[in-house]
């Protein structure tokens, strides 16, 4: 029971990180119907920017952890969204009216380019960061197993919940959110009634990248290491989360992220840690076969 509770806590934390990345996939897919294959690498870039920004802040004398973290959050979100914008502007926008598979192939190229770019400029080594936020609470202190809830885990979950709330509010109540929903329903019609489609899509990429940057920071704080390869696996898992929750649906992305995080954690805890990625990828296959619209997704109607 104690062991189960501990895994539950770990799984929820991991799921929150996946959920944040999954939002980027689900929004882009909802609006322009493409899988932004480079999104996982945007997440990786966010983690790297956060790491460097934090070290730079320490170097110039900002040592108070809460202040430094807040600044890192702002810097990483700003710079990573710049990456998101640039990728969309140069690799996807010219392909808006190209044939069906062109944007996906372009995204794969972008993903390879970004991964190797980071490898060149920062090296292939794993980059460690000393734990910034120590401490935590002991929930159950039984002689068999000690269940702990660390402060990092609390921070990860609270930040995710707060960001989800802000983001849902933006989508539901602002002009931008209305434009986004309009584009999701019908891109051509939205442009006819005066929605600036290009700008809306740019903002979608910016927001998606900013959330991925936050996920990158969480990943950095939680695991304490980052390398240029984390984007690929995290990206595929977050995409799985988006599909599982129903692609195009924001609460779906969050639910999917949580489920994937839990499945992965429990699989590693009770079965085998070597096959945890196999479990996550198998979920993707199974969901697509038996529940292609996901948990909260709408069925897709093919029109001629």
Partner 1 sequence: MAQEGNSTRQRDFAGALKHAALAALIAFGLFSLLVGIRTDTGSGGALELTARYEMLAAFVAVAFIGAFLREFLFAGATFDAASYVPAALRGFAARIAPFLGPAFLIVALAVPIIFYDNRYILDLSIQILTYVMLGWGLNIVVGLAGLLDLGYVAFYAVGAYSYALLAQNFDLSFWICLPLAGILAAFWGILLGFPVLRLRGDYLAIVTLAFGEIIRLVLLNWQSLTGGPNGISSIPRPSFFGLPFNSDEGGFAHTFGLEFSPTHRVVFLYYVILVLALITNAVTIRLRRLPIGRAWEALREDEIACRSLGINTTNTKLTAFAIGAMFGGFAGSFFATRQGFISPESFVFQESALVLAIVVLGGMGSQIGVAIAATVMLGGFEFFREFQQYRMVVFGLAMVAIMIWRPRGLISTRVPSVFLTKEKPVDIALAREEGRG
- Which residues within the stretch 232-291 sit at the binding site for partner 1 (CB under 8 A)? 232, 236, 239-240, 243, 272, 274-275, 277-278, 281-282, 284-285, 288-289
Out of 2, 8, 73, 122, the residue judged to bind partner 1 by CB under 8 A: 122
Out of 8, 104, 132, 154, the residue judged to bind partner 1 by CB under 8 A: 104
Binding string, 11-50, against partner 1, x = CB under 8 A? -----------------------xx---------x--xx-
Contact 35, 236 (CB under 8 A): no
Residues 63-82 touching partner 1, rule: CB under 8 A, are 75, 78-79, 82
- 3-state secondary structure string, 260-296? HHHHHHHHHHHCCCCCHHHHHHHHHHHHHHHCCCCCC
Nearer to partner 1, 105 or 161 (CB): 105
Closest separation in Å from C-beta 33 to partner 1:
8
Out of 61, 125, 135, 143, the residue judged to bind partner 1 by CB under 8 A: 125
Torsions phi, psi for 226 (to 5 deg): -150, 145
Out of 3, 90, 137, 169, the residue judged to bind partner 1 by CB under 8 A: 90
Closest separation in Å from C-beta 168 to partner 1:
26
Strand 127-128 to 136-141 pairing: unpaired
Nearer to partner 1, 118 or 152 (CB): 118
- Is residue 102 at the binding interface for partner 1, with CB under 8 A as the rule? yes
Closest separation in Å from C-beta 59 to partner 1:
6
- Is residue 142 at the binding interface for partner 1, with CB under 8 A as the rule? no
Nearer to partner 1, 97 or 175 (CB): 97
Residues 159-178 touching partner 1, rule: CB under 8 A, are none
């Amino acid at each position: 029971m104690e062991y189960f509770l501990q895994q539950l806590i770990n799984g929820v934390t991991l799921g929150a990180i996946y959920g944040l990345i999954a939002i980027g996939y689900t929004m882009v897919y909802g609006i322009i119907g493409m899988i932004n294959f480079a999104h996982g690498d945007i997440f990786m870039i966010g983690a790297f920017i956060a790491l460097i920004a934090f070290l730079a802040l320490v170097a110039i004398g900002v040592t108070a952890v809460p202040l430094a973290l807040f600044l890192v959050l702002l810097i990483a979100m700003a710079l990573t969204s710049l990456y998101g914008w640039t990728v969309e502007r140069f690799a996807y926008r010219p392909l808006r009216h190209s044939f069906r598979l062109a944007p996906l192939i372009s995204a794969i190229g972008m993903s390879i380019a970004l991964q190797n770019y980071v490898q060149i400029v920062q090296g292939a080594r794993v980059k460690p960061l000393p734990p910034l936020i120590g401490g935590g609470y002991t929930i159950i202190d039984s002689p068999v197993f000690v269940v702990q809830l660390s402060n990092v885990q609390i921070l990860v979950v609270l930040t995710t919940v707060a960001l989800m709330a802000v983001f849902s509010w933006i989508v539901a109540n602002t002009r931008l959110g209305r434009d986004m929903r309009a584009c999701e329903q019908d891109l051509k019609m939205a442009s006819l009634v005066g929605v600036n489609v290009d700008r809306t899509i740019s903002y979608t990429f910016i927001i998606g990248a900013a959330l991925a940057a936050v996920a990158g920071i969480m990943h950095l704080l939680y695991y304490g290491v980052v390398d240029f390869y984390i984007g690929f696996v995290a990206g595929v898992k977050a995409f799985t989360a988006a599909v599982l929750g129903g692609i195009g649906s924001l609460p779906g992305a969050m639910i999917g992220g949580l489920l994937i995080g839990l499945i992965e954690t429990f699989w590693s805890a009770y079965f085998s840690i070597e096959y945890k990625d196999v479990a996550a990828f198998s979920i993707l296959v199974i969901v697509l076969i038996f529940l292609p619209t996901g948990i909260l997704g709408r069925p897709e109607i093919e029109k001629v």
